[in-house]
Chains A and B, each alone.
Chain A
């Protein structure tokens, strides 16, 4: 158990809908990362937050947005969902978000868009 929690574990929704994925980092970790894992794309970095501020952006679509709240939990919002958005979404946390720090991954949220 990494100490990172993600909810929900599974999510099934229809195209065009909007969903919110939630992540709570390990106690004491200030930085949160979001990743998308699909069969054909591997693990893709989406976005990183540190202590409430966006720090780095990866391959995140404009339909997706995220934020980190004062209590350090983070939410990833996915809107206008398409079939291709079906994937595992992982959240990871690290103590300070500096490059080279170990990232601890949560168990993931499996999103299925029908």
Chain B
């Protein structure tokens, strides 16, 4: 119940295409869903986050879509660029528990 399942494990997209990464959870108590971006040799960095009271949040080319009834959320990267090539992690947290549960990561490669 504490797991967050992330897919796909790896993704190759052409420059200018849309990258889509999906996450699913079981525990309905999760109430904060951040996405992290990690470049090789670096620590993860917060990209965008959403709370379950909204169905979509957009920041530049990055959009989170949230489906509360399906217990799924996804990251869309529009107009993907080679510089977006990184590993992306979704995460979920229950307020008050202080524990972040991370997905297993998606390695994205955007071809020039």
Contacts and interface: CB of A to CB of B under 8 A. Distances in A.
Interface of A: 2, 4, 33, 41-45, 48, 55-56, 58, 90, 92, 97-100, 102-108
Contacts of B94: 99
Contacts of B41: 107
A48 B102 contact: no
Nearest to B104: A42
Given A92-B43, A107-B42, A99 B105 contact: no
Nearest to A31: B98
Interface of B: 31-32, 34, 36, 41-46, 49, 51, 89, 93-105
A55 to B, nearest CB: 5
24 contacts: A2-B45, A33-B100, A42-B89, A42-B102, A43-B44, A43-B89, A43-B102, A43-B105, A45-B99, A45-B102, A56-B97, A58-B99, A90-B44, A98-B98, A99-B98, A100-B51, A102-B34, A102-B46, A103-B100, A104-B45, A104-B46, A105-B43, A105-B45, A107-B42
A44 B102 contact: yes
B44 A105 contact: yes
Contacts of A92: 43
A17 to B, nearest CB: 25
A100 B95 contact: yes
A2 B43 contact: yes
Contacts of B49: 100, 102
Contacts of A104: 45-46
A-B CB proximity, top 8 nearest = A105-B43, A42-B104, A56-B98, A43-B102, A99-B95, A100-B32, A105-B44, A102-B46
